[in-house]
């Protein structure tokens, strides 16, 4: 190959965990040394640590980081919103009116919080907590509400647990509402979380929400809970970019791909992160899944550039990390397929590990900024022991 070869233009849409990692990682050169020109499109000028948005809303952490500390040399950041992908023309249309040409597109738009229209008053009075702007809005609202005022968190999954604990540790009167506390957790891990929540003074109420108003939450069985602020953490959705672009998606709007994460509609569009649905079987929406998805997506792009066969996705999950305030956490150990085992790491050791993992996500992105090939994906082995060793090392 000659040095005059035109670089392959790779556009990455979305600057979250998966998108930032992909933009850095795709700068690897294939065996022929083919050059790659990388553009990252993101609507915000700063990276958002989404796994810390509950801290941001509680006022004890700034969940934004400058992209200048995360992106490697040669990655061009375009602060704009992608509004449509023209697959036939290989262009991305932006809200500003500009367009970007691409040879390969990495679709990493992530996910967002949704408040169901089917629950009366929820869209008007409940505060979702899945995006930076939502966390900012909630933080501003909490500034106007006395510490003693009742705060209700709807959704007893991992996000709801973390939010309820964070607000309670800050001195607020918190009720957590959901069908089941930590439904993805094993019974021992669930007991660990319940004990930690009780210690913080969080009241856990089981039930379905039928309505939300300015000052209370009504349950399906007729009970109601007083609420000065209602936080909605139940359920996720995805941006509508793929649907608006005529690309096929699943019911939640995730881009349908094969096992190499290639769009079933176009071989030059590859997905990663929460917005990917490989073979109609998407991974759990999580920061943890972004690494194996992104390694596969980038590998697919570089293989297609090199004219070789891309590899199929082979993810390995290690577990779930749940902060219960700043001083305790529960780390649920999982099997390869993400199903929960009966093993967990809890208490202060769990909190130390959870914080290390949160910091490690940024460390991993920064590492690929310096060395594009340096992506860590845990493969098999004794995951519980590795996690414990990481804490005590």
Alpha-carbon gap, residue 155 to 232, rounded angstroms: 7
Average pLDDT over residues 363-380: 79
Chain position carrying tokens 């709007």: 253
Q: Is the pLDDT of residue 80 over 60?
A: yes
Kind and range of the H or E element at 234?
none
Q: Is the pLDDT of residue 317 over 90?
A: no
Q: How far is CA 209 from CA 60, 156, 212, 229, in A?
A: 29, 12, 8, 15
Q: Is the pLDDT of residue 391 over 50?
A: no
In this prediction, residue 34 carries a pLDDT of: 73
Alpha-carbon gap, residue 305 to 314, rounded angstroms: 21
* pLDDT above 70: percentage of residues in the chain: 93
pLDDT greater at residue 62 or residue 382: 62
Q: How many CA atoms lie within 13 A of 75 on its CB side?
A: 31
The string over 164-181, giving b where at least 16 C-beta atoms fall within 10 Å of a residue's C-beta and e elsewhere, is bbbbbbbebbbbbbbeeb
In this prediction, residue 4 carries a pLDDT of: 60
Average pLDDT over the chain, rounded to whole? 90
**pLDDT band at 281; cut points 50, 70, 90:** confident
Q: How far is CA 130 from CA 93, 263, 273, in A?
A: 25, 26, 15
Alpha-carbon gap, residue 41 to 14, rounded angstroms: 6
- Is the pTM for the entire model greater than 0.85? yes
**pLDDT band at 373; cut points 50, 70, 90:** confident
Residue of 235, 234, 282 whose CA lies nearest to 254: 282
Give 36-49 pLDDT, tens digit per residue.
999 999 999 999 99
Q: Which of 52-61, 95-104, 276-285 has the lowest mean pLDDT?
A: 276-285
Quote the distance between the C-alpha of residue 47 and its chain's center: 12
């Amino acid at each position: 190959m000659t040095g005059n070869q035109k670089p392959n233009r790779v556009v990455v849409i979305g600057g979250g965990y998966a998108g930032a990692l992909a933009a850095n990682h795709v700068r690897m050169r294939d065996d022929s040394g083919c050059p790659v020109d990388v553009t990252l499109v993101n609507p915000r000028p700063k990276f958002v640590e989404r796994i810390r948005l509950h801290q941001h809303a509680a006022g004890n952490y700034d969940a934004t980081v400058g992209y200048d500390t995360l992106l490697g040399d040669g990655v061009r950041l375009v602060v704009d919103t992608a509004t449509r992908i023209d697959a036939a023309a290989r262009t991305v249309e932006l809200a500003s009116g500009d367009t970007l040409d691409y040879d390969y597109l990495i679709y990493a738009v992530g996910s967002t919080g949704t408040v169901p229209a089917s629950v009366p008053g929820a869209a008007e009075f409940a505060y979702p907590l899945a995006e930076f702007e939502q966390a900012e809005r909630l933080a501003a609202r909490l500034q106007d509400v006395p510490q003693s005022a009742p705060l209700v968190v709807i959704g007893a999954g991992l996000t709801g647990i973390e939010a309820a604990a964070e607000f309670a540790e800050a001195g607020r009167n918190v009720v957590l509402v959901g069908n089941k506390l930590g439904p993805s957790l094993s019974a021992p891990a669930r007991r660990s979380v319940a004990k930690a929540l009780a210690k913080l003074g969080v009241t856990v109420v089981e039930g379905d929400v039928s309505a939300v108003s300015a000052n209370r939450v009504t349950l399906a069985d007729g009970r109601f809970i007083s609420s000065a602020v209602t936080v909605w953490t139940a359920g996720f959705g995805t941006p509508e970019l793929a649907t608006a672009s005529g690309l096929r998606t699943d019911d939640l709007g995730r881009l349908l791909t094969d096992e190499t994460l290639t769009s079933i509609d176009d071989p030059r569009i590859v997905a990663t992160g929460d917005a990917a649905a490989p073979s109609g079987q998407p991974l759990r929406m999580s920061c943890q899944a972004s690494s194996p998805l992104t390694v596969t997506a980038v590998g697919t792009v570089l293989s297609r550039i090199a004219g070789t066969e891309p590899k199929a996705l082979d993810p390995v999950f290690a577990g779930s990390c749940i902060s219960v305030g700043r001083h305790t956490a529960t780390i649920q150990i999982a099997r390869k397929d993400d199903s929960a085992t009966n093993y967990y790491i809890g208490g202060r050791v769990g909190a130390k590990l959870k914080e290390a993992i949160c910091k490690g996500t940024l460390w991993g992105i920064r590492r690929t900024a310096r060395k594009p090939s340096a992506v860590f994906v845990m493969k098999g082995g004794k995951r519980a022991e590795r996690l414990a060793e990481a804490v005590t090392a």
